[in-house]
Amino acid sequence: MNINAGDNHSYRGMIQTDASINSGNSGGPLINSVGEVIGVNSVIFTPNQGSVGVGFAVPSNRVKRVLDELKKSGKVDRDYWTGLDVQTIDSRVARYFGLDRAEGVIVSDVKRNSPASRAGFKVGDIIVEINNERITGEESINGLAADARPGELWKVRILRDKQYQTLELKLERNQ
């Protein structure tokens, strides 16, 4: 489940739970019916103060990845760049490009000598998928970006001149 918290934070791939999460006990384990830890309780959305509401946990595989990075290097490295600027496709843009629905993002700028320019992106390309995950708008990319690391290779499915193609974008360390 993806959550937009309205505070410039987006939480992707969270586990929704009805487990009580009281103030101060986030960080506790979320356990399934056979006693396995499947997540770490993180946040509750509630109309009032207290533990009544919808709780969310970070999946344990994501926690493990971050812990492994912290053990290895003492930090989580998200300092990369793509050289792409994008905009969410609205109904007007969708009509202009003859799209069935307003979905995806359109490339509005490709920085010179950037990972995106080396991958072959052009202004006007419409990004519809990254690593087999459908892109519905900028928030989709922002969510993927939050979990990405320098050196990763993204397989990006684009629509260009009414033809679909896949470009490989390597996330390079920010300069």
pTM score:
0.68
Closest listed residue to residue 145, CA positions, set 89, 87, 90, 79? 79
**Are 49 and 125 within one domain?**
no
Q: Are 87 and 48 contained in the same domain?
A: no
Domain boundary among 42, 73, 104: 73
> How many domains would you assign to the chain?
2
Helices (H) and strands (E) counted in the chain, each on its own, are 4, 14
Distance separating alpha carbons of residues 171 and 175, to the nearest angstrom: 12
- 144, burial (CB in 10 Å: exposed 0-12, middle 13-18, buried 19+): middle
| 119 lies in the same domain as 50 | no
Structural domain containing residue 167: 80-173
119-171 per-position pLDDT tens digit: 999 999 999 999 999 998 888 887 787 778 888 999 999 999 989 999 999 99
Given 20, 46, 73, the domain boundary residue is: 73
Asked if residue 59 lies in contact with residue 15, where contact means CB atoms within 8 angstroms, the answer is yes
Residues 94, 39 within the same domain:
no
Both tokens of 152, joined, read 């990763």
Cβ count within 10 A of residue 41: 21
Q: Do 84 and 149 belong to one domain?
A: yes
CATH number at residue 32: 2.40.10.10
Distance CA 97, CA 88 (A): 13
Mean pLDDT of all residues in 36-59: 79
Clarify whether residues 88 and 146 are in a common domain. yes
Is the pLDDT at 72 greater than 80? The verdict is yes
Residues 8, 67, single domain; the answer is: yes
Greater model confidence, 29 or 51: 29
Q: Which residue matches tokens 């900028």? A: 138
Q: Same domain, yes or no, for 121 and 159?
A: yes
- For 11-34, write each residue's pLDDT tens digit: 667 888 877 777 666 788 888 999
| Shared domain check, 69 and 90 | no
Write the CATH number for 106. Answer: 2.30.42.10
Q: Which of 47, 73, 99 is the last residue of a domain?
A: 73
Q: Is 60 helix (H, G, I), strand (E, B) or coil?
A: helix
| Residues shown for the chain | 175
